[in-house]
Structure formats: structure tokens, C-alpha cells
Chains A and B, each alone.
Chain A
């Protein structure tokens, strides 16, 4: 089974800061990785698909990169509405798996 190691588990940053989250896969998953944002009490929302593609309607300050086993998610300029928990999700081969999540807060 493929394990996803996401870091950090929590992050506090200031408005306007650049924020980076990483996910490491235990096996090569090509680009079969999505990034989700989940706000309190809501269903997850897709931000980035296939590692680096911005979902239509998602602000361009969100971006993703990587392939194989190492992936990065970046918010170029943090906004107050970005407070949420972020998850990576591999779907290369079942059982699929999620990273542990990164709780993002504003300083």
C-alpha cells in the first residue's frame, strides 16, 4: 500500500506570506495526486489535480508541483480566507490514501 507523508501538520503564517506544504509518497505515483482544501464542517474542495493543474475557478495563488514521490503545494500570498486544513490525496492505485493534513492558521 502507498503511504503519504505530509508536512508540516500545522502552520501559522501572516497574510501575504508564501506557504509551502509537501507530500512524500512511499512509492512512485507518477502525477496521480490531488490537493484539497477543507474548511471547518465542510466537504473537501479540489484545488489542484494531477499534481500541478489548477482546478477551474480556484485562485491562481494556489499551485502544485512534483511527480513520482515528492510533491509540493504552494500558496503564493496567503489570504485570510485560506484558513483551512489541506490534504494531499494519491489515486495511483487502490487502496488510495490521503496525507495526514496540514492545519493552516493566520498569525
Chain B
């Protein structure tokens, strides 16, 4: 059974940092391009960024609102995807989903991790 399980969400202050993790199982994680998608409360889906596989150099791409503040990385030995978040803003509040990139040819989503940025 395929599973993507996010962890590390919680409350952070503006300007603070948080790291989300996403543990993967049930598929060959090292072969999958991975993506983070977020959703502010009551709002639509927003693409955050993606990371390619190490065979493609582990290249990352980001949405403009998060570039330079959020960093995606992966550890294939642990089947884990990460989202390092720094210089957090209140507008970063929302549910963060770990998902396989559509280019991978399959579509799996985690249950989401809630991040709240508030003083």
C-alpha cells in the first residue's frame, strides 16, 4: 500500500523556521519526482515546488512567493522528502501536502500537515 505521511507541522512565529518531513512507502521513492502543494485556510491549492530525482541532479524549482525561503530536499536512503521553511510569514499558514510530481506518471498524496504562522 502506498503511503505518504507528513510530519513536523505546528505553530511558528513570523520570521521563524519549521521543517516538514514526508515519509514514503509502497513505491520506489528514489525514482519519483516529488512536489509540495499547500492550501491556505478556505482557499485553493497552491503549488510550492518540486524536486527531481538524483538521476536528474536533484534539481529543484519553486513558486515565486516561497523562493529563497522554502527549500525542498530528499534523502532517498530514508525514503523521505523535506520542506525546510525559514523567514516564515503569516501567509505561509495552511495545510502542506507532499505529493508525487505529475511527471512521475503516478499520483499519490499525503494527508497534509498544518502549519500555522502567528505571533
Binding site for B on A (CB under 8 A): 1, 32, 34, 36, 38, 43-46, 49, 55, 85, 87, 89, 91, 94-101
Contact = CB atoms under 8 A, between A and B. Distances in A.
B46 interface: yes
B103 A44 contact: no
B67 to A, nearest CB: 9
A91 B107 CA distance: 13
Given A44-B45, A49-B102, A95 B62 contact: yes
Interface in B21-63: 35, 37, 44-47, 49-50, 61-63
Nearest to B46: A98
Which one of B50, B102, B103 has the greatest number of beta carbons of chain A within 10 Å? B102
A28 B107 CA distance: 23
A96 B97 contact: no
B64 A98 contact: no
Contacts of B102: 32, 34, 49, 89, 91, 96
Contacts of A34: 102, 107
Contacts of B109: 43-45
Interface in B62-119: 62-64, 97, 101-103, 107, 109-112
A59 to B, nearest CB: 17
Contacts of A89: 45, 47, 102
Which one of B35, B37, B64, B110 has the greatest number of beta carbons of chain A within 10 Å? B37
13 contacts: A34-B102, A34-B107, A38-B45, A43-B110, A45-B109, A89-B47, A89-B102, A94-B61, A94-B62, A95-B47, A96-B50, A96-B102, A101-B45
Nearest to A50: B102
A87 B44 contact: yes
Contacts of A45: 109
A95 B50 CA distance: 9
A94 B107 contact: no
